Amino acid sequence: MTVDAVIVGSGPGGATVADVLTAAGWTVTIVEKGRNHLLDPDDLTRPASDFSNDEIKFRSRYFLGPDPLIEPRTFRVSEADGDRTFVGEVNSVPSTVGGGGTHADGKVPRFRPDDFRLMSRFGPQDEADVADWPLDYDQLEPYYAEVERSVGVAGTDGANPFAGPRSGPFPMPSGAPMFGATLSVAAAERLGYHPYPAPTAANSVPYDGRPACNNCGFCAFFGCPIHAKGDPVAMLRRAMATGRAELLPETFASGIRTVQNRATGVDVVGPDGATRFLAARHVVVAAGAIETPRLLLLSGFEHPLIGRYLMTHFQTIVAGGMPFRTYAERGRAVTHVHDDMIVGDDASRRAAAEGGLPWMRGGLVEHSGAALPILEATHYPWGAAHPGLMADSPIRARLWAFIMQGEDLPYATNRVDLDPAIRDARGFPAARVTYRAGRHEHVASDHYGPRLAAILKEMGAEWTAVTSSPGRGNAASPEAVPESRHNVGTVRMGTDPASSVVDPQGRMHDVENLVVADSSVFVTSAGYGPTLTLVALAARAAHLLAGTRPA
C-alpha cells in the first residue's frame, strides 16, 4: 500500500503535518523511533496516563528518551579536537511519541518581523553566514494564528510592546502568575524593562477537551500528567480521529529512497528489529534539527550544506539568592519573559561596537526558579553540611533566576554529521555535533549577564551568580556541550539551491516530494524558543502540499 505521506517524527512538526494533511483527506503513516507514552494504546484518540510528577523517572532514567546507551550522540567543539571529545547526551530532545512537545514547558512565543530579515535589517557579521529568511512575518502570520488555536495558547493581548502584529487574540487568557515572577516583573519594570506573561501552550481554562493546568509545577522536562499542555497531543489526537493516520512507535527511519529525483518511501526498522519499506507519494521529515540531517545523510543525500549552521541558543543563566521563599515549585515553570534584550538599546549597541561587532542581539529572558530536590541535592557537597543546605535551600526554595536564550549566529563550522565510529543500538552511525559559540554570543552574554543580575538585586537578591551554557572552560570539559534543546538550522531554507537545502516551502530543492517540516529549516535562531515557529512552518508546508488554506 502506498500512503499519501510518510511522516518521520511525531513531535510538534510531524504532528502538525499529520493534522493538516489528514484534515485534507490524505492518508499518512507517522514513524516514531521512540515509545508511545502520550496516547492511549487502546484508543489513540485519547491521551495516555503514563506521565507523572516523578523526578527519578523523567530526570534520572530517560523515560522520554533518548537513552544515551541506545541512541548516543557525540560532541566536539571543533574539528581540531579530533573525532569527538564526548559521547552521550548532546542537545537531547525527547525520543518519544510527541517528541519535544512532551518535555517542553510550553512557552510558545512568536518570532518578531525583524527575526526573519537580519541581513537586510542589520547586515553581515564576520564568520557567520547571516541571511534573510525566504519568507517574512506577514506570510507566516496566518499560520501562527492557526497553530495558536490548534495547540491552544494562553497569552495576554497587547502585553508585549515589542510583539509583531496579530490578526486575532490569544485563544485563552494567561494562567496564574508565579509568585516569584510577580516580584521579578516588578523589579524589571522599575529598571525600565518590559516583562509580559509568556505565551504558553498550557491551558488556562478547559480547552479542546483537555483540562486547565492545575499548576503542579512538574512542567519543564516532564510530560503533563493531565494533558493540559496541548503540544503536540492535540494535533496527534485530531489526526488519529480522522481514521486516516497510522502511528508506528518504536520504528526507526533508516533511509529515504529516491528514484530520479523523487522520493518513493522510507526504509524502517520496527520494534522487532525487522526492516521494511514504507512506500509513499510524499516523504515528510520532522525528526528535529539533529536527527533530520542525520537521516538525510544516512540516506545518501549529498548537498554540502546538509547539517551545517546548527544553532541552539547561547544560554546566559543568572541566579539570585533571595532572603525569602520564591515558591518556584508551584505553577507553569515560567510565567513571565521579556524581549528587551533581543531588541537592544544604546548601551547594547555601544557594547557591540566595543566588542568589535557591527550589531548584536541577546535573547528572550525567562523569569524562573528551581523546583526539583534531587537536582538541588546533587549541587551541594555530601557530608555534614548536606542536611542544613537542603533545609535552608539557597538554590531551590530561595532562588530566582533568569535564563536568556541568546540568539546564536549561523556558522558553517557548527554542524551535525555522522560520527565515524559511534553507533546506535540498531547499528546506524550516531549524529555528531560540532559546536563552538562565536564572539557575538560571548559579547552579548557578557553585556546582558550583569544587567540581569541587577534586576535580581533590585528584587532583593543577597547574592547573584552568572554562568553560561556552553561554558567558557576548555573544549574537553562537559560544560562545553550546550545545555540548550533549542536545536535549529541544519537544513537551511532558501531560494538559491547553492546556499540552501530546501525551498521556501520546505521541499528539498531537487526532490520536490521530500519536505522538511521542523526547526532544521530555520535560517537564523532568533532569541525565542523555536516551537511555535516550527509548527507554523510545518502547517504552512502541509497546507501548500495539500492545496488548503489555514483555518
Per rule CB under 8 A, is residue 86 in the interface with other proteins? no
CB burial class (10 A; 0-12, 13-18, 19+) of residue 250? middle
The three three-digit cell numbers of residue 449, written as one number: 549577564
CA-CA distances (angstroms) from residue 506 to 295, 334, 523, 538? 16, 31, 12, 8
- Write down the least CB distance from residue 216 to other proteins, Å: 4
- Give yes or no for residue 499 binding other proteins (CB under 8 A): no
Which span (19-27, 177-185, 276-284, 404-412) binds other proteins, by CB under 8 A?
A: 177-185
Q: How far is the CB of 287 from other proteins (least distance, A)?
A: 17
Q: Does 343 bind other proteins (CB under 8 A)?
A: no
Minimum Å gap between C-beta 197 and other proteins is 12
C-alpha separations of 448 from 1, 155, 403, 453, 458 in Å? 56, 26, 11, 9, 15
Is 159 among the residues that bind other proteins (CB under 8 A)? no
DSSP string, 129-188: -----SS-HHHHHHHHHHHHHHHT-B--TT--TTPPP-SS--SB---PPPHHHHHHHHHH
Q: Which of 134, 142, 182 is nearest to 165 (CA)?
A: 142
Whose Cβ is closer to other proteins: residue 21's or residue 253's?
253
State which of positions 245-284 bind other proteins (CB under 8 A). 250, 271-273
**Residue 508 · residue 250 · CB < 8 Å:** no
Residue 23 in 3-state DSSP?
Answer: helix
Q: Which member of 63, 314, 400, 522 binds other proteins (CB under 8 A)?
A: 63
Q: Considering only residues 94, 155, 171, 217, which one is a binding residue for other proteins as defined by CB under 8 A?
A: 217
With respect to other proteins, which residue has the nearer C-beta, 62 or 196? 62
* 223 or 438: CB nearest other proteins: 223
Q: What is the closest distance, in whole angstroms, from the C-beta atom of residue 12 to other proteins in the complex?
A: 22
Q: Residues 308, 490: contact at Cβ < 8 Å?
A: yes
Q: In the set 186, 279, 412, 425, which binds other proteins (CB under 8 A)?
A: 425
**Shortest distance in whole angstroms from residue 125 CB to other proteins:** 38
The CA radius of gyration of the chain, in Å to the nearest whole number, is 22
> Scanning residues 7 to 36, which ones bind other proteins (CB under 8 A)?
35
CA-to-CA separations, 62 to 54, 270, 485, in angstroms, rounded: 12, 21, 15
Set of cell numbers at residue 65: 528518551
Site for other proteins contains 155 (CB under 8 A): no
Q: Which residues within the stretch 383-412 sit at the binding site for other proteins (CB under 8 A)?
A: 383-384, 386-388, 390-391, 393, 397
Nearest-CA neighbor of 317 among 426, 424, 456? 456
* 393 phi/psi in degrees, rounded to 5: 55, 55
Q: Does 54 bind other proteins (CB under 8 A)?
A: yes
Q: Does residue 215 interact with other proteins by CB under 8 A?
A: yes
Overall residue count recorded for the chain in this entry? 551
Q: What is the DSSP string of 28-64?
A: EEEE-SSB--SEETTEEEEE-S---S-HIIIIIS-TT
Residue whose CB is less far from other proteins, 61 or 121 = 61
Minimum CB distance to other proteins, residue 468 (Å):
24
| Rounded distance between C-alpha atoms, residue 259 and residue 265, angstroms | 10
Residue 206 or residue 387: which is nearer to other proteins going by CB?
Answer: 387
Q: Which is closer to other proteins, CB of 35 or CB of 436?
A: 35
Q: How far is the CB of 386 from other proteins (least distance, A)?
A: 5
Tell me the DSSP string of 337-363.
EE-HHHH--HHHHHHHHHTT-S----E
Q: Rounded to a whole number, what is the distance in angstroms from the first to the last CA of the chain? A: 31
Q: Is 175 among the residues that bind other proteins (CB under 8 A)?
A: yes
Q: In the bound complex, what is the minimum distance in angstroms from residue 455's beta carbon to other proteins?
A: 20
Q: 17 or 154, CB closer to other proteins?
A: 154
Query: C-beta of 330: minimal distance to other proteins in Å?
Result: 4
CB of 177 to other proteins, least distance (A): 5
Alpha carbons 150 and 146: distance in angstroms, whole number:
6
| CA-CA-CA-CA dihedral for 220, 223, 227, 232, to nearest 10 | 90
Nearest distance from residue 270's CB to other proteins, in Å? 11
Residue 198 burial by Cβ neighbours in a 10 Å radius (0-12, 13-18, 19+): buried
Q: What separation in angstroms does the CA of 291 have from each of 115, 398, 491?
A: 25, 38, 11
For other proteins, what does the binding mask look like between residues 456 and 485, x meaning CB under 8 A? ------------------------------
Residues facing 31 on adjacent strands: 8, 248
In the bound state with other proteins, the residue whose beta carbon lies nearer, of 370 and 515, is 370
List 11, 331, 362, 438, residue binding other proteins (CB under 8 A): 331
Stretch that binds other proteins, among 96-104, 305-313, 370-378, 493-501 (CB under 8 A): 370-378
- Residues forming the site for other proteins (CB under 8 A): 35, 49-57, 60-63, 67, 69-70, 72, 87, 175-179, 182, 213-218, 225-226, 250, 271-273, 325, 327, 329-331, 373-374, 376-378, 382-384, 386-388, 390-391, 393, 397, 422-425, 427
